[in-house]
Amino acid sequence: MCHNLQKRVLHISRTKTSREGEDVSFAQQSGSSDPEQVPLHHLRINEPPPGGAFTGRFKNGHRPLTKQKFIVRLALATRAAGMGPLQGHGIRIGSTLEYLPHNVPFEVVKMKGRWSSDAFQSYLQKHAQIMAPYMQAAPVLHEDF
């Protein structure tokens, strides 16, 4: 605990950039996308078997969630919400678009999103509302520097 704030750590056993896996930290948030409540909701709804947290109900049992099935399901959800499909890094950039309007510095966003390069900045060029404060002649966000 830091400053009386609790954090949770989820170990991902293998990632695209780390075969040994890595730890992802998160903290409780308010709202429907609380990273603490979402998985608990999933466990209540899908009742996965022991050791199979990332499974969903399928016919008379459970089936692991694959990347392909995740992308298909996400496409259905975004279409139903009237949004365009999210692919690849477009999914990860969502957290960047959440943190930057709250004045979280680029370097913190980069670390929080586990970006190993500055690639996330290229995605930001498409989002004028995020980049506008950084492109002003006298940026308000840089007054403290």
Whether 56 is in a domain gets the answer no
What is the tally of structural domains in the chain? 2
Q: What is the 3-state secondary structure (H, E, C) of the chain?
A: CECCECCEEEEECCCCCCCCCEEEEECCCCCCCCCCHHHHHHHHHHCCCCCCCCEEEECCEEEECCHHHHHHHHHHHHHHCCCCCCCCHHHHHHHHHHHHHHCCCHHHHHHHCCCCCCHHHHHHCCCHHHHHHHHCCCCHHHCCC
78: in domain: no
Domain that holds residue 122: 84-138
Domain-embedded: residue 14 = yes
> Is residue 1 domain-resident?
no
Q: Are residues 45 and 91 in the same domain?
A: no
Residue at 61 is within a domain? no
- Residue 80's pLDDT is what? 94
> Is the pTM value of this prediction over 0.85?
no
What is the residue-level pLDDT of the chain in tens, covering all 145 positions? 556 668 888 888 887 778 888 888 888 888 777 888 888 888 888 888 887 777 877 888 888 888 888 888 888 988 999 987 776 666 666 666 777 777 788 788 787 777 777 776 776 666 666 666 666 655 555 555 4
- Given this model, what pLDDT does residue 3 score? 61
